[in-house]
Amino acid sequence: MTKIEEILKYFPINIYNILLYTFEQNSHIENAIEEIRIRVNRPILLKLREADILIEYIVTQAEVLQILEKLCDNSIYAYKNQICDGFITIKGGHRVGLTGTAVVENENIANLKYVTSLNFRIAREIINCSNKILGEIVNKEENTIYNSLIVSPPGKGKTTILRDVIRRISNGIEEIGLKGKTCGVVDERGEIAAMYRGIPQNDIGIRTDVIENISKAKGMKMLIRSMAPEVIACDEIGSKEDIQAIAEAISSGVKGIFTMHGKTIEDIKNNKYIYQLIETKQIEKIIFL
């Protein structure tokens, strides 16, 4: 089953037929598409790498509800926690973002009363995309890695590269003599491993353990206590709690690979918590994409 077939099965018949026809008539779309955006009372939008395609079909509220029910295996209540987090992960590692009218209790989102927008984000693995930076991360002399921070603006591929780095380190890199390392991944938003019913939909290596839907700080502490990782990884660090947990992990002998949003060293300096890791030399390598 192709990635597009994995996604199209969630749509009502009218939308399914329109999308299928569009893909059949435009063979380049399948490899270029990044998102399918569905909005109540608006046309369908296909977001490609270089352009958008607008499909003049007005989506109804009933159709959005039908899609949501299929996404939730006809049990929206069972997916309540994911809905409150704003996304559902489906088979293949694709993520569907949701927005609508929020029901707030005790300053937390308790439910979405009306779902009005869905964003199908197509998951793509790019195997070996980290090859160019692995030489900077791997410490061949000590058969380990440097504590590393990967920095890039949003949407430039840092999560994709982080995933591939984890895969390579977990499996071992024979050509440079790096033995496979036990890796622990804190996948707070489900974007690295893309777990579906407890099974990673992305290849993250044979020695990798994943904990998802938990804060990075709590997740790191749990992994260190329970799984004894040699390397720990998480995406988009930034909070004081994140940095405290990273400092504790590094001080206990665990190596780390992390990412953050940014373009320059000034962006790092502007986050005083992350910059503490640089000043204290706990982060040994910074890689800008």
Here the CATH number for the domain that contains residue 23 is 3.30.450
What does DSSP assign to residue 141?
G
Strand 183-187 to 208-212 pairing: parallel
pLDDT of residue 219: 96
User: Does one domain contain both 162 and 274?
Assistant: yes
Instruction: Indicate if 142 and 273 belong to the same structural domain.
Output: yes
Asked if 250 and 135 sit in the same domain, the reply is yes
Predicted confidence at residue 101, as pLDDT, reads 82
| Residue 126 belongs to some domain of the structure | no
Q: pLDDT averaged over consecutive 10-residue blocks of the chain (289 residues)?
A: 84 96 90 94 94 95 95 84 84 89 73 87 90 94 95 90 97 93 93 87 96 92 96 95 95 96 93 92 95
Strand-pair category, 183-187 with 285-288: unpaired
Supply the pLDDT for residue 224.
95
- pLDDT given at position 93: 83
Q: Taken in order 112, 114, 117, 119, is the CA torsion positive or negative?
A: positive
What DSSP designation does 173 have?
A: B
Domain residues for 169?
131-288
pLDDT at residue number 266:
94
Report the pLDDT value the prediction gives residue 105, as an integer from 0 to 100. 75
* C-beta contacts of 252-256 below 8 A and 24+ residues apart: 252/224, 254/224, 254/229, 254/230, 255/144, 255/145, 255/146, 255/147, 255/181, 255/230, 255/231, 256/147, 256/148, 256/231, 256/232
* 202: in domain: yes
249 and 210 both lie in a single domain: yes
pLDDT at 190: 83
**Do 53 and 92 have their domain in common?**
yes
CATH, residue 170: 3.40.50.300
Last residue of a domain, one of 71, 103, 121: 121
Would you state the pLDDT for residue 204? 96
Residues 278, 144 within the same domain = yes
Of 121, 153, 180, the residue that ends a domain is 121
Distance of alpha carbon 123 from its chain centroid, rounded?
9
CA–CA gap between residue 289 and residue 284 (Å, rounded): 17
State residue 110's pLDDT score: 65
The total number of structural domains that make up the chain:
2
Report residue 139: phi and psi, to 5°: -100, 90
> What local confidence, expressed as pLDDT, does residue 1 receive?
58
